[in-house]
Amino acid sequence: MSAPLDTPPATRAQDLMRRLDRVSLATSLPADGLPWPYASLALTALDHDLSPILLISDLAEHSKAIAASPRICLLFDGTGGLDQPLTGPRLSVFGVAAKSQEPRLRQRFLARHPDAEMYADFRDFNFYRIAIERAHFVAGFGRIDAIDGAALRVDPSPWAALIERESDIVSHMNEDHADAVGLYATKLLGLAAGEWRMTGIDAFGCDLRWRGQVARLAFDKPVADAEAARKALVELVRRARATAA
């Protein structure tokens, strides 16, 4: 479920980014004379400050382009499944790409995209963190906003304690409470039954995945640490079971 239209544009844009696991990545290919714009599909995850994370091979055209000019654009497309796609939300995020060996970025990306573990350690693959500069948000016909990078980025320091325990919480939910994760997907989000798993948790909600489908479950209010997250998750499963009754 996406954020209501009466919420601020930056909040709706953040929600869209968190709900999607793939983007159109645009770079500028080096060439004689003027460079050529180049766009293609890429998988993405997000750091807790909303910085997009990419995993790209050095052999890819995008890596060659980023090496020449690290300024890129990511299109988050939220129009899938709509009868009239142009009425749906899409967000162009402009930023600067840089290689990163930060373990947290690797963990969040591979949790979001478990199949990427097959090639993540190949010598030619690298993780990239995108430093957001600004964004262009189209929420539908006539709903267009320019968003400054500072408004789109999130300061995660108030919930540093939650970030530190993220892996523990996710593992605990998947190993000991897989039934609850399934109820989140089916009863609270209205999705088909399956082997749903939690892939991440942050102050504002948790991320779920089954096969190639991802979903986002928002908390009623932000949580700052593991205990607050536990209470929020318990309340959500209580609500899901009440729905199932």
- Output the DSSP codes for 100-157: E--HHHHHHHHHH-GGGGGTTTSTTEEEEEEEEEEEEEEEETTEEEEEEHHHHS---G
> Would you state the pLDDT for residue 142?
78
* Residues 109 and 162 grouped into a single domain: no
Question: Locate tokens 């840089």: which residue?
Answer: 98
Residue 222 lies in a domain: yes
* Residues 78 and 177 grouped into a single domain: no
* Residues 18 and 118 grouped into a single domain: yes
Residue 1 lies in a domain: no
Query: CB under 8 Å to 20, separation ≥6 — which residues?
Result: 44, 76, 77, 78, 214
Question: pLDDT, tens digit, for every residue of 45-74?
Answer: 999 999 999 999 999 999 999 999 999 999
Give the total number of structural domains in the chain. Answer: 2
- For residue 209, the surrounding DSSP H or E stretch is strand 205-210
- For residue 179, the surrounding DSSP H or E stretch is helix 178-183
What whole-number distance in Å separates Cα of residue 78 and Cα of residue 142? 16
What range defines the domain where residue 143 resides?
A: 9-155
pLDDT band at 5 (very low <50, low <70, confident <90, very high): low
* Domain CATH number, residue 67: 2.30.110.10
* Domain CATH number, residue 185: 3.20.180.10
* Residues 226 and 191 grouped into a single domain: yes
Average pLDDT, the chain: 95
Is 93's pLDDT higher than 80?
Answer: yes
> Would you state the pLDDT for residue 34?
86
* Residues 198 and 225 grouped into a single domain: yes
Is 1's pLDDT higher than 80?
Answer: no
Residue 18 lies in a domain: yes
Which of these three, 131, 155, 179, is where a domain ends?
155
* Residues 112 and 61 grouped into a single domain: yes
* Residues 117 and 13 grouped into a single domain: yes
Residue 188 lies in a domain: yes
Residue 175 lies in a domain: yes
Which of these three, 101, 130, 155, is where a domain ends?
155
* Residues 212 and 166 grouped into a single domain: yes
Residue 90 lies in a domain: yes
* Residues 82 and 192 grouped into a single domain: no
Residue 87: DSSP 8-state? G
* Residues 78 and 151 grouped into a single domain: yes
Residue 4 lies in a domain: no
Strand order in the sheet with 197-202: 197-202, 205-210, 213-218
Residue 202 lies in a domain: yes
What whole-number distance in Å separates Cα of residue 89 and Cα of residue 105? 26
CA 24 to chain centre: 13
Question: pLDDT, tens digit, for every residue of 110-155?
Answer: 999 999 999 999 999 999 999 999 999 999 877 899 999 999 999 9
Is 30's pLDDT higher than 90?
Answer: no
* Residues 129 and 195 grouped into a single domain: no
Which of these three, 155, 175, 196, is where a domain ends?
155
- For residue 7, the surrounding DSSP H or E stretch is none
* Residues 170 and 124 grouped into a single domain: no
